[in-house]
Amino acid sequence: MRLECRVTGGDFQAAGEAAAKLKRTLRQVGIDAETGRRAAIVAYEAEMNIVIHALRGVLSVEISPECIEILANDEGPGIPDIPLAMQEGYSTAPEHIREMGFGAGLGLPNMKRYSDEFRIESVVGRGTSVRMVIKIASKGSQT
Amino acid sequence: MRVRDLLDVLECRVEAGAAGLDNEVKGGYASDLLSDVMAHAGEGDVWVTVQAHQNVVAVATLVSLACVVVAGGVECEPEAARRAEEEGIPLLRSRLPAFEVVGRLYVAGIRARPGAD
Ligand SMILES: Nc1ncnc2c1ncn2[C@@H]1O[C@H](COP(=O)(O)OP(=O)(O)OP(=O)(O)O)[C@@H](O)[C@H]1O
Ligand SMILES: [Mg+2]
CA–CA gap between residue B23 and residue B16 (Å, rounded): 14
Contacts 24+ apart (CB under 8 A), A93-99: A93/A52, A93/A53, A97/A52
CA–CA gap between residue B73 and residue A133 (Å, rounded): 41
Mean predicted confidence (pLDDT) in B11-17: 96
Rg of chain B, C-alpha, whole Å:
12
Tell whether ligand 1 has an atom less than 6 A from the beta carbon of residue A76: yes
CA–CA gap between residue B85 and residue B83 (Å, rounded): 5
The domain defined by B3-107 folds into 3.40.1390
What pLDDT score was predicted for residue A139?
58
Predicted TM-score (pTM) of the model is 0.92
- The Å distance, Cα B58 to ligand 1 centre, comes to 19
Query: Mean of the per-residue pLDDT values for chain B?
Result: 95
- Report ipTM (2 d.p.): 0.86
Q: Which residues pair with B27 in a beta bridge?
A: B45
Q: Can you give the pLDDT of all 143 residues of chain A as single tens digits?
A: 999 999 999 999 889 999 999 999 999 999 999 999 999 999 999 999 999 999 999 999 999 999 999 999 999 999 999 999 999 999 999 999 999 999 999 999 999 999 999 999 999 999 999 999 999 987 544 44
A-B C-beta contacts closer than 8 Å = 69
Mean predicted confidence (pLDDT) in B1-24: 97
Domain locations along chain B: 3-107
Q: Does A29 touch chain B (CB under 8 A)?
A: no
In chain A, which residue's Cα lies nearest the Cα of B83?
A13
